[in-house]
Every structure is written in C-alpha cells, then in structure tokens.
Amino acid sequence: MATKIVDNIFLVNAPAGSGKTTKIKSMIVNHKIKYPIDNILCITYTKRAAEELKKRFK
C-alpha cells in the first residue's frame, strides 16, 4: 500500500476502503514522534480526501 519512492517520499495508492487514510495518519504520527520538528506535506487527489485526513487529526 505505501511505497517508498526515495528516502523521505512515499506513495500511498490503494482502492477505496482499503485503509489509506488510516495508514497515512499512522505514518505521520510515527514520523512526528521520531522527528518532532519536521514539517510534513501530504498531497491528495481530492479535496474530500484532504478534509478526511485533516478530520482524523482533530
């Protein structure tokens, strides 16, 4: 589901309902624990996907 493109870039590509948002949230949380001062850029195909991910962090 998550493929490492280069050292710090990942592509998460899977069908609807497969847990992409959960996986992305987990990856972000784990990274922020390990590297708390890093910034993270997450790009989605749709505004709805971005809103769903944002909602998971509230």
What pLDDT was estimated at residue 2? 83
Backbone region of residue 17 per phi and psi (left: phi > 0; alpha: psi in -120 to 50; beta: other values): left
Provide the pLDDT for residue 51.
94
Q: Which helix H or strand E contains 10, and what residues bound it?
A: strand 9-12
pLDDT averages per 10-residue partition of the chain, 58 residues: 82 91 94 94 92 91
Domains held by the chain: number: 1
52 alpha-carbon distance from chain centroid: 11
- CA pair distance 33, 37, nearest whole angstrom: 9
pTM above 0.85, yes or no: no
Residue 31 lies in domain: 2-56
